Amino acid sequence: MTRVLCVGECMLELTHLDSTTARLGIAGDTYNTAVYLHRVARLLRAETEVGYLTGLGNDEYSADMRARWTTEGVIDCSLPVEDRMPGLYTVRVDGDGERRFSYWRSESAARKLFAGTDWAEHITGDLIHLSGITLQIASPPARQALLTRLRELRLGGTLVSIDTNYRPAGWDSPQDAARTMDLFAGLADIVFASWDDEAAMHACPTPADAAHRLAALGPREVVVKTGADGAHLLTDSGLRHTPAAIPSRVLDTTAAGDAFAGAYLAARITGQAPAEALQTARQVAAVVVAHPGAITPGDVPLLPTV
């Protein structure tokens, strides 16, 4: 049994369907990854437990989140935060499926939890997944506690993955974001990044340059996502580019990258080689962009029958 723990913030998601109607869901980059990792691992018949660590309150929406996690098969590893509620964001999607986000999260339960350091002691598992947004909402002392905990776990064989997911508004500066993410990328075994993020933080001229820059920090596997152009994978076997799978339609690109990361990690856990895992990930991402919102309905096939 492989135990996976994803760490970050799960929020309420309001997706605008038209000018007067919105659909309520729950999402958040590392939560999305947890859901798709669990779904794909199940499809691939892997013995995997996927947990999610965040801060939640004792309100109705926090209870709804916990219930939804259970439905998804994601283990509730949340820690209680008194007098706080989950954060909220809205999504508006244009005709090409591209998104505009607005956030209300400064007083969220997760942000209060990640201001302290005690939560880091609760991190455990065979694979720990986090993101740049996890680091963004964590205080500097919390980041140091997380770094220390991950170093301890790696000595015992735990694997670490990180998806950079750079959101400029949450950082003091691009330089602050770059320094912090590089510190954790250097500790990771698998790093996911988008070329847009690498271009913004490091002015990398090509996806290949971004992959080599990240690999020099120490991870064994680097995946640079390039949206509709696919992804670049860099391992000891060299650099390879895989085009994106062609979706049936592009309705909403929300969580496509998160689903890609979750599917890739699930495939690697089941023993697929990196190049094969890349193919699995691209198939899942193509399904996700054809549906509205971050999490597809549970009855939507993510992969051909295995």
Q: Tell me which of 94, 197, 258, 299 is the catalytic residue.
A: 258
* Main-chain phi, psi angles of 90, to 5 degrees: -115, 155
What is the Cα 237 distance to its own chain's centre? Answer: 25
Closest by CA to 273, choosing from 233, 246, 306, 244, is: 233
Q: What is the end-to-end Cα distance of the chain in Å, rounded?
A: 20
> Burial level of 179, CB count in 10 A (0-12/13-18/19+)?
exposed
Provide the greatest CA pair distance for the chain: 53
| C-alpha distance from residue 149 to each of 122, 158, 217, 218 (Å) | 9, 11, 19, 18
Closest by CA to 6, choosing from 297, 266, 230, 217, is: 266
> Burial level of 214, CB count in 10 A (0-12/13-18/19+)?
buried
Rounded to whole angstroms, the Cα distance separating 247 from 133 reads 27
Token look-up 């219930």 returns 67
Q: How large is the C-alpha radius of gyration of the chain?
A: 18
229 part of the active site? no
For 66: left if phi > 0, alpha if psi spans -120 to 50, otherwise beta; the answer is alpha
Say if CB 185 and CB 217 are below 8 A apart: yes
Q: Which residues are catalytic?
A: 258
